[in-house]
Amino acid sequence: MPDAPEARSTTPQGPDVDATGPDTKTAAPAFPEDYVVGQEIEVTVDKVAHGGHFVARHNDLVVFVRHALPGEDVTARVTEISAHYLRADAIRIHSAHPSRVTPNCPAFHPGGCGGCDFAHANQDLQRDLKLQVLRESLHRQGKLSIDRVEELTRMGIRDLGNHEGWRTRMRYRTMRRDSDVVLALRAHRSDQLVDASSCVIADPTGHAYAREFAHSSPEGGDVLMAVDSGGPVVEFIAQNSRDRARRQVRHTIEVDDQEWEFRTRIDGFWQVHPRLAQTLVQTVLAWADPKPGEKWWDLYAGVGPIAAALATRVGGSGHVVAVEGSSFAVREAQRNLGRRFVGDELSVVRADVRRWIANDALSEPDPDGVVMDPPRSGAGRPVLQGVAARQPRRLIVVACDPVALGRDTAILAEFGYRLERVTAWDAFPHTHHLETVALFLPADQIS
């Protein structure tokens, strides 16, 4: 999905692969202000960078190129000019990477849908690209040695399967195409809409249901789609409406042979890959190793799946505090978890985590362990400093952004916590995103 508007010129429907090699490179300006949007430049692509693009240089000026792969010689069309770099789309490929493939989605092309980044690479290369980004983030932002990073990430990026049709939540915009209204998504870094009728990462049942729903919907509104244990759920939000989504979606996880049901709004947060939520809960339990009678904090708890798992293990003699800022998520956690835990083993608190750490947490006993699933920007210094000051024996971070995880790793090292273990999953195939779980232990407890 896009994150900012961008000036964009007309581009072809996809990069043309030219096996004869690049054309002769011509002299080009050396300063960003001398380039224009739409200008074509010849570059040799270097390594992958975080965000779904690749680094190249043109007259020593950094160019972030999409639709390319490492080592390729390409013709790229400039799409954005910054004070220190350019953005561009590869429109002709002169020497193709051996793992380049033809994308299955007709909307994946320069100027096309911004939802996917790596659909032109096979699955093995996609995971290798994500591993490179994770390693770079732990080394540069995390300030870990290269040897330590390689040791921590030697298992690579794990494959969760469902390489297509994995996205169980989507938010489409409706647009008119000829005489029909169809589902659309935005182009990369643009408000321009692209026909998404053939999206390959959306759950096929939910996508088909949303597509039929769009036919009878007005142009310009949003169609929200989610797939739960009962099948697809859709809701329409009119353009410029202040209405919030009302429909709810049910999800289940298993903890120690118990099945738990959680509900979120159709536009609320739940892991979009059908296997990821269960995988995260199992990993957190294995690494946290919560014991009866212990005290744990679950920060950024959502509707409470990890809190439920922790409370199941610590039992009536232990206690779990789940902190979440969303009022709906807190109500749902209280409704569902309150029926299972009738004693003092679980408290659900509605609060901003940063403020809770600075104020209300002071009245809580020191936790034996802390789990946090912060937003994409990471937990940040105030939260991490406050948590480290309470000296939990284990600290687990669930991270959806490797650069943010790197920053948090460096901050925790300042406060005496070392990254002991990390694992990552390719839970979002064809995109640049990955999901990571990291275990931190007090440095003085590590031999």
Length of the chain: 447
Taking alpha carbons only, the member of 251, 49, 51, 33 closest to residue 136 is: 49
Euclidean distance between CA atoms 401 and 416, whole angstroms:
22
Strands 53-58 and 169-177: unpaired
HEC per residue, 376-408: CCCCCHHHHHHHHHCCCCEEEEEECCHHHHHHH
Alpha-carbon distances of 386 from 323, 358, 361, 391, 415, rounded to whole Å: 14, 7, 9, 9, 10
* Chain centroid, CA 406 distance in Å: 15
The CA distance from 66 to 129, in Å, is 13
CA 429 to chain CA mean position, Å: 11
Distance CA(121)–CA(57), nearest Å, equals 22
| Three-state SS letters, 331-378 | HHHHHHHHHHCCCCCEEEEECCHHHHHHCHHHHCCCCCEEEECCCCCC
Burial class (CB in 10 A: 0-12, 13-18, 19+), 85: middle
DSSP-assigned states of every residue in 217-271: SPTT-EEEEEEETTEEEEEEE-TT--PPP--EEEEEEEETTEEEEEEEETTS---
Enter the tokens of residue 99.
């793992």
H helices present in 112-189, as ranges: 123-140, 146-152
**400 an active-site residue?**
yes
**Rg over CA atoms, the chain:** 23
Maximum distance among all Cα pairs of the chain, rounded to whole angstroms = 75
d(CA 428, CA 142) in angstroms, rounded, equals: 23
Known catalytic residues?
A: 400
